[in-house]
Homo-oligomer: A and B are copies of this chain.
Amino acid sequence: MDKFKVTFYPDNKSIEVERGKTILSAAISAGVYINSSCGGDGVCGRCKVILKKGQVVTHPTGRISLEERSRGFHLACLTTIQSDLEVEIPPESRLDLELRLKGLYSESEEIEAPVSVLGDEIFVHSPLATKLYLELPEPNLEDKISDLERLYRQIRRIQDIPIMQTGLTNIRRLGELLRSADWKVTVTLGKRNGTTEIVLIESCDTSQKNLGLCFDIGTTTISGQLVDLNTKQVLGTKATYNKQASFGSDVITRIIYAQEEDGLEKLHHAVIDGMNQMIQELIQEHNIDLNDVNCVLCAGNTTMVHLLLRVEPTYIRREPYVPTANFVPTIRASEAGIKINPRGLLSCVPGVSSYVGGDVTAGVLSCGLHHQDDLSILIDIGTNGEIVLGNKDFLVACSASAGPAFEGSGVGCGMRASKGAIQKVTIEPKNYAVKYNTIGEIKPRGICGSGYIDMIPEMLRAGLIDKSGKFKTIKDKRIRESELGREFIVAFKDESEATSDIVITEADIENIKRAKAAIYAACAILVKHMGLEFSQINKIFVAGGFGTYLDIANAISIGLLPDLDKTKFIFVGNSSLAGARSILLSYEAMKEASEIAKKMTYFELSVEPKYMDEYTAALFFPHTDLSKFPSLSNKK
């Protein structure tokens, strides 16, 4: 089989691939992650690349304009390699959207740490990994028990651990280690599937150095925290795009991709690459030795957890939608390719079903729904929108495919809720002057979810768009026609840190409308399914990667959230990450999470015939049936 060298610019990364492979597949293998919402089907048109040199075979596509074609543009997924190639990835095709906006590249970014609704103190402090400093009595002719039993005995003098395990690796080192350390050692104890494992034995007192990581592995965004397991202090919180987005923007496209040759392997590497990079950055910034990071706790939707562990996700999307595992045993992190201490542990928050994963369990734990007497709803706004309804007696959940718009992906100038993101917006109806506020109060780089949620009601109020989201015919310097339709300039290039004007397009508005409709319809159907009405709900927890700010009134006014008294809403940010941190820090929280996962039932929207009707009715700002939003009709 012929092999050709393909070089990608501006990364200057090369790879050898066989004739006939697509440029998209070659890019992924080279570690160059390209946008692709459709997972390589030639539909979304987001994987445009510029061919600089070499022969290819390509398919005709309406996604490349004549002008682009003349400049060498091709869709990476439809173009196969027939010789050595040189390929340029234009900024708009890069998965790392910041590159386009900021003209520079960052693997992951510091974000605001989510705060636990219930506080960090409600669970007993008993982290996934604990360290114990031991001064063993030296053996003598009267006390001759073996090294390993001596260690066990000393541990049991401090803690009551009936079943203790140790690996051969530790035993092989033990004799020499104990003696060279003069019988003063620190053991790292890990909680592993109902037993305690001596994960590590180190000489001297290293008990002060005990770090752990928690992750929320989302379809679009991976958020992670570095936590001091002794003090519970959060040292750093970061977010990065899930590089799996190169294989499609939703879980279904990725499950399909996993069935291709090496597909599962590539998806697995994409997620762990991102996590490992984030871990590297976190430990370097905080001057931590990787060997002092002893455990990782992950919350993710069921597909993300399968891909993290390189477990075939195929059956998740086949009726009757059964995953391989909802409760995954604790393993060594290295088995999944996660680079912390080579003997460190990896634990995942238990999930409920194929479409309600451990991220939702963690969210419920974090909000305390399962303790409430009154009815609550948790609405987690992500690429999958998950809704949980319940109280201390029952929990029922469903999942709606919303798309990544609220995470700033799949929308023109969207970005994640990190520095420079426009998060608050007002528009002066008279002259369309825009006032905005950015995260970190620096020049704007793009718009995050909460910015879009503000933008639409402001555009409606200013008369820029109608209630279906279409632009009205208005002449203004901020309104212009582009190849992709009309757009409104939120921030001009010269007032921003972006490389071009920051705009919102009609297509963006359409995307947001679909996302909010999917989530609202899911809420409405779930409440109805339980024989309830919105008015009976006492609290609404709103979760999602919005940073610290979300305007609830605006979210209601676009019809994303139900029209209830504002005081009932509690904005909780990334509740999955907050819950994951609680579990990392407390085995009691892990047990509670298991109970939540066992107790929660799953309601499948796709088998509910009224869901599509609800969804269609919600494709309007705020809704086609205004009686559902009485506070808005009163205003008028």
Contact = CB atoms under 8 A, between A and B. Distances in A.
Interface of A: 139-141, 144-150, 162-168, 171-172, 174-176, 179, 193-195, 309-312, 314-315, 319-329, 331, 335-336, 353-354, 602, 604, 607
Contacts of A166: 329
A172 B171 CA distance: 28
Contact of A325 (B140, B149, B353): B149
A491 B625 CA distance: 110
8 contacts: A139-B322, A145-B326, A147-B324, A148-B324, A148-B327, A163-B195, A172-B309, A172-B310
B602 A144 contact: yes
A279 to B, nearest CB: 20
A321 B144 contact: yes
Contacts of A354: 144
A325 B163 contact: no
B310 A146 contact: no
Contacts of A145: 322, 326
A309 B172 CA distance: 8
Among A146, A195, A311, which residue has the most Cβ atoms of chain B within 10 A?
A146
Nearest to A138: B320
Contact of A171 (B311, B314, B602): B311
A164 B194 CA distance: 9
Given A139-B320, A168-B329, 10 more contacts: A144-B353, A146-B324, A146-B325, A146-B326, A148-B327, A163-B163, A165-B329, A168-B311, A175-B314, A175-B315
A29 to B, nearest CB: 22
Contacts of A604: 141
A175 B311 contact: yes
Contacts of A353: 144
Say what secondary structure dominates the interface of chain A. loop
A312 B148 CA distance: 13
Nearest to A314: B175
A195 B311 CA distance: 24
A171 B141 contact: no
Contact of A193 (B147, B165, B168): B165
B171 A309 contact: yes
A310 to B, nearest CB: 6
Contact of A163 (B171, B194, B322, B328): B194
A168 B331 contact: yes
A140 B319 CA distance: 8
Contact of A309 (B146, B168, B607): B168
Contacts of A176: 312, 314
Contacts of A175: 311-312, 314-315, 324
Nearest to A193: B165
A147 to B, nearest CB: 5
A473 B168 CA distance: 59
A141 B320 contact: yes
A179 B324 contact: no
A171 B319 contact: no
A194 to B, nearest CB: 4
A622 B309 CA distance: 69
Contacts of A607: 141
Nearest to A325: B148
Given A144-B353, A193-B163, A324 B168 contact: no
Given A147-B322, A163-B193, A166-B329, A172 B315 contact: no
B321 A168 contact: no
Contacts of A140: 320
A345 to B, nearest CB: 12
A195 B195 CA distance: 8
A314 B310 CA distance: 41
Nearest to A166: B329
A420 B370 CA distance: 77
Contact of A162 (B167, B194, B311, B329): B194
A175 B174 CA distance: 39
Nearest to A332: B168
Contacts of A331: 167-168
